Amino acid sequence: MQLPIDLSKYFSPIQPTIKGTDKQVAYRECLPDIRLQSYIYCYWELKTNQALANKFYYRVVADGCMDIFFELNQPAENYVMGFCKQYTEFLLSNCFHYIGIRFLPTMFPQIFKINAAEISNRFERLEVVASKTSTFIGDFISPDQTFEQIKNLFDQYFLYMISNVKWNEDGRLYNAIDIILKKAGVINVEKDLDTGISLRQLRRLFEFYIGDTAKTFSKVVRFQNILRVKPSQQSLRENKLFFDVGYYDQAHFIKEFKNFYGVTPSRAFER
């Protein structure tokens, strides 16, 4: 199947690296098989290199994607995280090893035939949403496998999965997503997303395939673009970045950034 646009060429969702415990906690990502890169952004691993003195708070920022994840020592207990319009914080134990699969926008709902809005802003047991995939993870993934071995298993599994999916190739939806991504989320939904359908229809499509409205998705894309730029504290003060990316004023910028990240821009980009 050839989608109207290849999202992987325009969208690279960022999860900030671990700060303050770099030697104790490690995070890494790897690309899937090239044939899957239009559907799956990455496989990821989050683990402790040594037991921590205390439990660990892990913050996930809004990135527009949906993820499957599980603790490698208990792979049968696997979950899916829906589209989130704000940051999410997880309290983990002092020793953990998580594996995840990050799907590009619109892909998870199509592969698993679900309404993305039904699991937005929360996580759910995968068995409730995609029981066969949940069973596969529980049966074929084990703690003695390396990240590379797990990646290869998932590559084989999802190559088979996508070969049997009846894809929605609605150009109106993907044209709207294309506009949002190329404009880095700085758009007026009513004026800029004229793709041949009403705003009501567009809202319905975005909620089903993304998990929220085009407006919310645009805000997340704009936020992700700021993360990619990595502005310095000085540029935040002097260059008025918030005007360049469509915010009314600095207070609006800080409020929305904190909602998506969990801390202020100055905290997020401190050196």
Per residue in 89-140, pLDDT (tens digit) is 999 999 999 999 999 999 999 999 999 999 999 999 999 999 999 999 999 9
Amino acid at 66: M
Residue position matching structure tokens 């679900």: 114
User: Domain boundary residue among 99, 132, 163?
Assistant: 163
What pLDDT, in 10s, does the model give residues 150-174? 999 999 999 999 998 988 777 889 9
- In a domain? residue 146: yes
Q: Identify the bridge partners of residue 101 per DSSP, sorted by sequence position.
A: 43, 68
- In a domain? residue 203: yes
Q: Answer yes or no: are the C-beta atoms of 102 and 41 closer than 8 Å.
A: yes
Q: Answer yes or no: are the C-beta atoms of 27 and 45 closer than 8 Å.
A: yes
CA–CA distance, 197 with 89 (Å, rounded to integer): 37
| Same domain, yes or no: 179 and 152 | no
| Same domain, yes or no: 96 and 71 | yes
Q: What is the pTM of this model?
A: 0.93
Task: Determine how many CB atoms are found less than 10 A away from the CB of residue 250.
Answer: 15
- In a domain? residue 2: no
How far, rounded to the nearest angstrom, does the alpha carbon of residue 156 sit from its chain's CA centroid? 22
Largest Cα separation within the chain, whole Å, is 57
- In a domain? residue 1: no
| Same domain, yes or no: 55 and 77 | yes
CA–CA distance, 50 with 245 (Å, rounded to integer): 41
| Same domain, yes or no: 213 and 111 | no
| Same domain, yes or no: 212 and 152 | no
For residue 150, what are its two tokens? 């797990």
Residues of the chain scoring pLDDT < 50: none
| Same domain, yes or no: 199 and 232 | yes
What b-and-e string marks burial along 71-107, b requiring 16 or more CB atoms within 10 Å of the CB? Answer: bbeebeebbbbbbbbebeeeebeeebbbbbbbbbbbb
- Residue ranges in the chain assigned as alpha helix (H): 107-112, 126-129, 131-140, 147-163, 171-182, 189-192, 199-209, 214-229, 233-238, 241-244, 250-261, 265-268
| Same domain, yes or no: 131 and 219 | no
CA–CA distance, 214 with 219 (Å, rounded to integer): 9
CA–CA distance, 143 with 229 (Å, rounded to integer): 37
Domain that holds residue 148: 7-163
Q: What pLDDT was estimated at residue 176?
A: 94
| Same domain, yes or no: 150 and 175 | no
- In a domain? residue 213: yes
CATH code (residue 209): 1.10.10.60
| Same domain, yes or no: 79 and 148 | yes
| Same domain, yes or no: 140 and 175 | no
| Same domain, yes or no: 143 and 203 | no
Q: What pLDDT was estimated at residue 144?
A: 97
| Same domain, yes or no: 78 and 36 | yes
User: Domain boundary residue among 163, 198, 233?
Assistant: 163
CA–CA distance, 136 with 132 (Å, rounded to integer): 6
User: Domain boundary residue among 144, 163, 182?
Assistant: 163
Q: What pLDDT was estimated at residue 116?
A: 98
Pseudo-torsion of CA 184, 172, 217, 97, nearest 10°? Answer: -100
Q: How many domains does the chain have?
A: 2
